[in-house]
Structure 1
Amino acid sequence: MRPRQFDLIAFDWDGTLFDSTQIITRCIQLAVVDVGGAKPSDEAASYVIGMALMQALAHAAPDVPQDKYPLLGERYRFHYMKHANDIALFEGVLPLLATLRERHHWLAVATGKSRRGLDEALHTSELKGVFDGSRTADETAGKPHPRMLHELMREFGVEPERTLMIGDTTHDLQMAVNAGCASVGVSYGAHDHGQFEPLNPRFIAHSVKELHDWLSAHA
């Protein structure tokens, strides 16, 4: 078997493994309007996906005063939970993860979701036990701060040059740069992949199949 290039592969969740971008964008817009803010554009609402929740909402709703942030978060969670069962893994994700596990990579999730939100998603999508580790924005620093990746690398004893971050936003790829890790971008999530090039990803995948093929050959 070809030697591994990366021992640890960390995935973003929303927009990379989980097909949730459009629903999250809509829920951000509804929450902002609920608390009296101006409705963010689709571009503005989708840009913040991947950030820690309150950081994301504050960025998307600059006209909402800070004293309304708790209510803003509550309204976002209200709208999101109405659609939680409408969201699913992208087609091809389970075979992709199975291939990587067969090659004995450590697999992790590095996400802007909360710990509760990620655990519920992992349970809903029957992925418990597939990942060896995870970090969420409410238990460490949010993206693009590198702490998530630093903590995961420390947990598994893996050096930056043996770690790969995969995500759909510039926040994911900038986190990899900040941590000294390689990255792969996916274009089917929240951000326009034209923004990825300055962050020097090893590859930009336009589908889960392209991601699977590249990882099989290069990871």
Structure 2
Amino acid sequence: MSELRLVIFDVDGTLVDSQRDILAAMAAAFGSQGLETPPRERVLSGVGLSLPETFLRLAGEQGADIRARMIDAYCTAYADLRQAHGPESSPFYAGARETLDRLAGEPHTLLAVATGKSRRGLDRLIEAHGLEGMFQSRQTADDHPRSPTPRMIRAALDETGVTARRAVMIGDTRFDVDMAHAAGVASIGVAWGYQPAAGLSADRIIHDWAELAPALDDLTETTS
């Protein structure tokens, strides 16, 4: 029997496309303080960080109290949008759900999440898409700082008992790749996410979920 391997997924921009509601909630957050919303590219470049880190990047010139109010406004707007849109608030990218189901059915593969989402946000997304029991480890921004610290990935490794050489991080941003490198695990970048694939410096870049299986087998030295 093959040694267990761990496949760790980022969420927004990798498994699901949440940009419509992210951008709308960000506009509400900046508007709540009478500020101009940053351009789309700048907003999406921070997806993957925790909200305090995101607003520090986007509104660092504002005081901490103003940023705190902006975070509250963002969370309220995002929750309202999620309630209004249901699962379509964060629709799967084509092939993502089928990929999760296939990997979950492999006896030698465990799945995990490492995301800049809050635990509440991740739990609600999992509930909305019927993913209960899919992930053996859920690491969120509530419990760990984001990239480049390796704490999320190391916690997932500790929780599952999988060694770093048998783990892969899959994401769409440099934050995901840097976190993987810091933890000593391999990385796969997806070309459909919120940051240009050319700048990710991942061990592999995939352009379709169909390319994932051979990349995983190669990086974890798995043979069929």
Matches within 5 A, 1:150-189: 150-189=154-193
Matched with 1:27 is 25
Q: Structure 1, residues 137-163: CA drift from partner, whole Å, max 9, x if none?
A: 111222221100011111122221111
- Give, in whole Å, the separation in 2 of the partners of 1:22 and 1:192: 18
Deviates more, 1:188-197 or 1:82-91: 82-91
2:100 aligns with: 97
* 8 Å Cα contact 1:146-1:179 kept in structure 2: yes
- Structure 2 residue aligned with 1:209: 210
Structure 1 residue 148 corresponds to structure 2 residue 152? yes
Do the aligned partners of 2:116 and 2:141 also contact (CA within 8 Å) in 1? yes
Question: How far off its partner does 1:64 sit?
Answer: 2.4
Q: Structure 2, unaligned stretches of length 5 or more?
A: none
Q: Distance in 1 between matches of 2:76 and 2:213?
A: 34
Structure 1 distance, partners of 2:101, 2:163, is 23
- Unmatched 5+ residue regions in structure 1? none
2: CA distance between counterparts of 1:146 and 1:25? Answer: 28
Deviation at 1:77, TM superposition (A): 1.3
Determine the structure 2 residue equivalent to 1:129.
Answer: 133
CA positional deviation for 1:92: 1.4
In the other structure, the counterpart of 1:53 is: 51
Give the AA of the match of 1:88.
Answer: P
Q: Does 1:116 align with 2:120?
A: yes
In the superposition, the TM-score normalised over structure 1's length comes to 0.89
Q: Distance in 2 between matches of 1:100 and 1:145?
A: 27
TM-score normalised according to structure 2 size: 0.87
Q: 3-state SS of the aligned residue for 2:127?
A: helix
Alpha-carbon distance in 2 for matches of 1:217, 1:149: 20
Stretch of structure 1 that moved more, 30-39 or 107-116: 30-39
**Alpha-carbon distance in 2 for matches of 1:58, 1:66:** 9
Instruction: Give the 3-state SS of the residue equivalent to 1:83 in structure 2.
Output: helix
Supply the distance in 2 between the matched residues of 1:117 and 1:212 (Cα, whole angstroms): 28
Which residue number corresponds to residue 90 of structure 2?
Answer: 87
The CA deviation at 1:29 is 3.3
Q: Which residue of 1 is the match for residue 143 of structure 2?
A: 139
Alpha-carbon distance change, 212 to 19 in structure 1, aligned in 2, over 3 angstroms: farther
Runs of 4+ in 1 over 6 A off after TM superposition: none
Q: Does 1:78 align with 2:76?
A: yes
Secondary structure of the residue aligned to 2:23 is helix
Distance (whole Å) between structure 2 residues aligned to residue 167 and residue 12 of structure 1: 5
Give % identity.
Answer: 33
Q: Count residues in correspondence.
A: 214
Contact 1:21 1:189 in 2 (8 A): no
Q: Secondary structure at the match of 1:8?
A: strand
Q: Structure 1 stretch 85-94 or stretch 67-76: which is displaced more?
A: 85-94
Secondary structure at 1:9 match in 2: strand
- Cα distance, 1:110 vs. partner? 0.4
Partners of 2:181 and 2:71 in 1: how far apart?
29
**CA RMSD in angstroms, aligned pairs only:** 2.0
Q: 1:196: which partner in 2? A: 200
